[in-house]
Amino acid sequence: MTATLERGARAAQTPALRHRLAERGVDRQLLLLAPAVLFVVLLFLYPFFYGLQLSFAPEEGGPLGSYAAFFSDPYQRNTIWITLGLSLPAALLNVLASVPIAYRMRGSFRGKRLLTIVLVVPITLGTVLTAQGLLNFLGPAGWFNKVLLSFGVDEPVQLVGNYWGVFFSLVITGFPFAFLLILSYLSGIDPTLERAAATLGADWKARFRYITLPLLAPGLATTFCLAFVLAFSVFPSAVLVGNPAGETRVLALAAYQAAYEQYDYSLASAIAMVMGAVELLVIAVVLLWRSRLYTGSTGGKG
Amino acid sequence: MATVAPARRPIVASPGAWLVWGVVAFFLINLAGVVGSVLVSSFGTQWFGTWLPDGFTTSWYARAWQEFQLFDVVLVTLQISLLVVVISVLIGVPAAYVLARRSFPGKQLVYFAFLLPILMPPITYGIPLATVLYKYGFAGNMSGVVLANLVPSVPFVILTMTPFIEQINPSIESAARMCGAGMRALFLRVLGPLLVPGILAASILVLVRTVGMFELTFLTAGPDSQTLVVALYYSMSAAGIRAQQSVDAMAVIYTGTMLVLLVIALRYVNPTQLVARVKEAPEP
């Protein structure tokens, strides 16, 4: 009885729509978000869906024609495996190599800032100088092969113009990013946790295995994702230090050639969509694994 | 203060430590080789199969400067990157403020939409984006390059500024509001000065990213709107027309620019604090 009365009273003086929205957190302040949302919609989502629609509207062969053309041609289809074959090992190596180095560099010691800067310098090189440098340094007449020859290796090792050239350029450009992120995550773990474990008699192996690694694992997953994204979109170095017609014909290159050499925008969009899908698939797998890990405070956040 | 040196990890350590430092040294030696070979080559006269070039000269820099019209290219690069920085800060910071302070229905969705451009490979959205920009007549000139480069930059500003704003005590804002400050006064006179370090850090990172961004600029640039990276790529892939050394000289100029930017950036940002705020080991 009273309940119905109350409800009637409330209906009689319903607060204005503005108030009801404000109660749920919607008010004029949200307008500050509008430019950014508009921007993402206009410049990212609209082109993305435009491309998606374009990929299903080829000039001939029905709605799935472009995808059929891509997957039925082994020369095109194999670019997926080539790209994954380059980017997965490169991202894994970058992340796994960063862990012990960052682990050694957690504390404060003399020259840490300098060493960090030196390790981060490759970010400034950019893909093109790296490519040029690799061509000069690892080429048949470069310093690397000269050193090898003077140590008694019979003939120069072929390290550019193939898989390894691109792989090295991915390591050089990708390692600093992975290292910086891992160092951040490691520095964010409260050092007193490890000291507590040490007072309980854990040696460094046990401390790493049971304290640091579980706290670091989510960060490892995130870093792997970012390193993988970086390596997956490899394009300039695949052309410059790789073998763009054969073993390093990556997805990005195939998409570029379809768009700007064959002017088949439908096929290019289709390849771009396949590229995005493959990448998101790998990331989803990694993040799924990450979601099963501990994701709380690492004690270091302020 | 302390008479005994604090117990740091000893430098002379286990074989594991030596292995790690050995790998670091090997990486750095090869890195020095990669950079050094370009540097030496850009100063060398002729270099065929010997350890060092026959003689040294600086003429390649003058030639690269003229041949590639580097002054124009550098000017265009600076204009584009500064525009991208200013616009992305203007769009990104207010959005970051809302994301840091408010909760509203659909926040997760908005956050995800801002995350996507960073997660996607540039080519995936770059090709459709270039098609759309060409359709509306933006591509092929500077506006197209700026628009394309904004796509990863705005989310980047938002994602780096959100944690920065979160750490500012909201009671400062409440105090300002109690004293009668409106939204504009709040932003210009209270939040603005507090955010300057964060905005500087984010802008320098965006600047470095934009100067180094190859794919998006490559897809949207016309002949008058090439940035340094793209011009470098064209001069490298058109090998044989230009002397190798003048391409090297150009690459050195590019890296010099980036290095200056990065050193400035590292003065403002402690790279290890990008992800989490660091709790240093307590001093004994």
pLDDT in tens, A39-70: 888 888 998 898 888 888 887 777 788 888 88
The verdict on a CB contact (< 8 Å) between A191 and B151 is: no
Q: Please name the residues between 53 and 112 in chain A that touch chain B, using a CB distance below 8 Å.
A: 54, 97, 100-101, 104, 107-109
Residues 6+ apart with CB under 8 A from A128: A236, A240, B214, B229, B232, B233, B236, B251, B254
Count of CB pairs separated by less than 8 Å, A with B: 286
B243/B247 Cα distance (integer angstroms): 7
Tell me, what's the pLDDT at A93? 93
| A144 in reach of chain B (CB within 8 A) | yes
Which tens digits make up the pLDDT trace of A227-252?
898 888 888 888 888 888 878 888 88
More confident residue, B244 or A219: A219
Taking CB atoms and an 8 Å limit, are A51 and B125 in contact across chains? yes
Kindly report the pTM of this predicted structure.
0.79
Closest partner residue to B128 (CB to CB) among A26, A175, A269 is A269
Task: Determine the average pLDDT of the residues in B115-144.
Answer: 85
Residuewise pLDDT in 10s, chain A (302 residues): 455 555 555 555 667 777 777 777 677 778 888 888 898 888 889 988 988 888 888 877 777 888 888 888 888 888 899 899 999 999 999 999 888 888 887 767 777 777 777 777 777 777 777 888 888 888 877 788 888 888 877 777 787 888 888 898 888 888 888 888 888 788 778 888 888 888 998 888 888 888 888 888 888 888 898 889 888 888 888 888 888 887 888 888 888 888 888 888 888 888 888 998 999 899 889 888 888 776 666 654 43
Closest CA to B156 of B109, B203, B218, B98: B203
d(CA B268, CA B256): 19
Q: Report whether B274 contacts B159 (CB < 8 A).
A: no
Q: Which residue of B has its CA nearest to A275?
A: B124
Is the Cβ of A208 closer than 8 Å to some Cβ of chain B? no
| Cβ-nearest to B247 among A101, A132, A252 | A132
Q: Scanning every residue of chain A, which has its alpha carbon at the shortest distance from the alpha carbon of B130? A: A47
